[in-house]
Structure 1
Amino acid sequence: MRFNKLDLNLLVALDALLSERSISRAAERVHLSQSAMSNALARLREYFDDELLVQVGRKMEPTPRAEGLADAVRDVLVRVEATISTQPAFVPAESTREFRLLVSDYTLTTLMPHVLARVYAQAPNIRIDLRPQVAHPERALERADADLLIIPRDYCSTDHPSETLLDEQFCCVLWEGATLAHATLTREAYLEAGHIVVLPGQGQPALEDWFVKRLGVSRRVEVTTFSFAAAAQLVVGTQRIATVHRRLALLAQRHEPIAIHDVPLHMPAMHQAVQWHRHRSADEGLSWLRGILREAVEAMDRAVGGPGQRVEDSVAPPRKARRAKARSKMD
């Protein structure tokens, strides 16, 4: 099919070339031979009267003309895919569809076990592809590399719809043997302590680090990690503090010798949201999956503790209870 003398099949090749910046990888992506992809690039160059991709060292880099085309071409292809690939009716129990979700390890640890259990109960043949968060996650929607993003609302794109799934508070985690573990954690003590800080998404600051910097204070960062879930474990055996999501802290407290305190700074809640492409709002499968996410949040909070529960009021894990009982017998 041609439009204004352009073979529209070439748009698929152009999208793959601009995404992969490699003729061989682009050919593999759209199931063409390397020679066929080279021929497609030659025809595209002739039509646009531009090199589009030029060799720079061992890489191929897009020209300014190609960069200007990239988003428009991707938007056209996403519209087409959303229109022709979405079935008129979605029946979970009969579906073999695959859903791709971009999630942080915070979401992976706290929410996804409850999501997967509900998906399996209703649609055992559906596949879930959980992908790690990346910088500029909205681009994954634009490229159709993800069906849903689960990210803090502060990071959501204004170009696509979203809805808030949950509110999350931050708290401080310390090793039980630390000096500050069983004392009042003051603002001064917090700022003077060594800290473990999470830098997810290719070194980008986490939301809690962003909040702290907005308050105009600085912390002595002694350890950085890419993992939200690991931060609570990394304080064990040290005098350091990790500022983490409350639900993660409560889960970690079941298995790790840690104490939990409120953050002695005014730190706002994180509003975790789910976002999808604006052209896929009518997708019945995504609507069903968003409903599953909402149900999973309720199940998670029944298991972990609801958003209104203060960290000091959390029930001690069985391991700690047994240890306390053993100490009382020795006394």
Structure 2
Amino acid sequence: MHGVDLNLLLSLDALLTERSVTGAARRLGVSPSAMSRTLARLRRVTGDPLLVQAGRALVPTPYAEELSGRVHALSRDTQEVLRPAANRLDLASLHRTFTIRAGGRFVELLAVPLLAAIAGTAPHVRLRFVPKPDKDAEPLRDGRIDLEVGVLGTSAPELLTQLLFRDRLVGVARTGHPLFETGAVTPERYAACAHVVASRRGNFHGPVDDALADLGLSRTVSLVVPGYADAMCVARGSDLVAAVPRSCLGNGVVADHAAGLGLAGFDLPVRTPEFAISAIWHPRLQADPAHRWLRETIAAVCRGACP
């Protein structure tokens, strides 16, 4: 396509529509003299006069009449193709299914408000949540997953992230647990309880144990379960104490919301590191306007639903 100038196509469309050098120049924001030179160039390229004088007006030649409809369609399509992608996003007519990899508690807490936020502006968009057995980056790379929500734990250097919120561990135990009967929850009284630990890898030891060890304390972990929802279920039905992310208890005051679950929440008597919950995606979707809209929507829902 050496020598092809798409600007000539746009100029020809303007000239055939306006049938006036001055009108075409005004439409494209150039000077009448520049448009006259373009018309001369178009005549050389096509080998046809295209527009000829008829009194004080210009009229198209038969060849120009033949070209008019095709040129207008090509000009419109060219401008559509070269328009920034974000300007082409019509949420009302968007038909798309997004696959999101997230933990069970994220789905439980945020799937409903996220669906409500999406349904109001993009009624034809569907969401598919899939579990997180691991943090393998390959599903993000090959397109099986559009977005992951969680703690970044992969070594794939090309992945992009957006911070959604910061989280921390809190303690939960059943309402009426002996831990709450006598005063404050001290490190010693906390360590003396039996504990249930959530660990995808089945580990008995975690950051709480490190924090207790700094104080010369240790605890008894009686049970390890795969996820935080399982740990909360066990804590609700036993005397075992669990440590779960603050976001697992939803928004609002910890104790008030936990009470509705049959649990009492409390601040851990030891300091554990905060951790970042992020949206994670592959760079091939960075500029995709629909994906950008999904990321922004999830971020807004998290700001409203998470501490």
TM-score per shorter chain, which class? 0.5 to 0.7
| 1:158-177 CA-partner distances (Å, limit 9, x unpaired) | 32110100111211011122
Aligned partner of 1:268 in structure 2 is: 273
Contact 1:109 1:229 in 2 (8 A): no
Q: Which is further off, 170-179 or 150-159? A: 150-159
Query: What are the within-5 Å matches in structure 2 for residues 105-184 of structure 1?
Result: 105-154=104-153, 157-182=156-181, 183-184=183-184
Q: CA deviation at 1:279?
A: 2.0
Q: What percentage of aligned pairs have identical amino acids?
A: 21
Deviation, 1:129, is 0.7
**Hey, what's the Cα distance between the residues in 1 that align with 2:131 and 2:274?**
23
Tell me the amino acid that sits aligned with residue 294 of structure 1: A
SS of match in other structure, 2:133: coil
Output the CA distance in 2 between the equivalents of 1:210 and 1:138: 24
| 1:292 is aligned to 2:292 | no
Task: Read off the aligned partner of 1:240 and give its amino acid letter.
Answer: L
- The CA distance in 2 between the partners of 1:187 and 1:247, in whole Å, is 23
Secondary structure of the corresponding residue to residue 153 of structure 1: coil
| Residue in structure 2 matched with residue 234 of structure 1 by the alignment | 234
Q: Which runs of 5+ in 1 are unaligned?
A: 1-85, 302-306, 308-331
- Would the alpha carbon gap of residues 104 and 190 (structure 1) be closer, same or farther in structure 2, given more than 3 Å must change? same
CA distances 1:282-328 after superposition (whole Å, capped 9, x unpaired) = 11111000010111012214xxxxx3xxxxxxxxxxxxxxxxxxxxx
Change (3 A) 1:210 1:282: farther
Q: Residue 197 of structure 1: CA displacement?
A: 1.0
Determine if the alignment matches structure 1 residue 211 to structure 2 residue 216: no
Q: Distance in 2 between matches of 1:179 and 1:117?
A: 40
CA contact (8 A) 1:137 1:149 kept: no
d(CA) in 1 for partners of 2:303, 2:194? 35
Q: Distance in 2 between matches of 1:94 and 1:205?
A: 47
- Partner SS state of residue 235, structure 1: helix
Rounded to whole Å, the distance in 1 between the matches of 2:203 and 2:97 is 31
Supply the distance in 2 between the matched residues of 1:129 and 1:258 (Cα, whole angstroms): 30
What is aligned with 2:188? 188
Larger Rg: 2
Question: Distance in 1 between the 2:289 and 2:161 partners?
Answer: 16
Query: Taking structure 1 as reference, are residues 210 and 223 closer, same or farther at Cα in structure 2, changes over 3 Å only?
Result: closer
Equivalent position amino acid for 1:174 in 2: A
Mean Cα deviation higher: 106-115 or 269-278 = 106-115
Task: Give the alignment's Cα RMSD to 1 decimal.
Answer: 2.6
Shift of 1:198: 1.0
* CA deviation vs aligned residue, 1:135-181 (integer Å, no higher than 9, x gap): 13322212321000101135574321101001112110111221102
Q: 1:264 is paired with a residue of what secondary structure?
A: coil
Cα distance in 2 for residues equivalent to 1:205 and 1:149: 23
User: Aligned pair in 2 of structure 1 residues 238, 188: CA closer, same or farther (>3 Å)?
Assistant: same
Contact 1:156–1:275 (CA<8 Å) still a contact in 2?
no
CA contact (8 A) 1:174 1:181 kept: no
How high is the TM-score relative to the length of structure 2? 0.62
Q: Is the Cα contact below 8 Å between 2:197 and 2:243 reproduced in 1?
A: yes
Distance 1:264 1:177, change over 3 A: same
2:144 alignment partner, SS class: coil
For residues 193 and 211 of structure 2, the distance between their equivalents in structure 1, rounded to whole angstroms, comes to: 17
Residues 1:199 and 2:208 are matched in the alignment = no
CA distance in 2, matches of 1:195, 1:144: 39
Partner of 1:225: 225
Letter in 2 for 1:96: H
1:174, 1:241 within 8 Å by CA — same for their partners in 2? yes
Match of 2:33 in 1: none
Q: CA deviation at 1:254?
A: 4.5
Following the alignment from structure 1 to structure 2, what is the Cα–Cα distance between the partners of residues 156 and 163? 16
CA distance in 2, matches of 1:105, 1:148: 15
TM-score by length of 1: 0.58
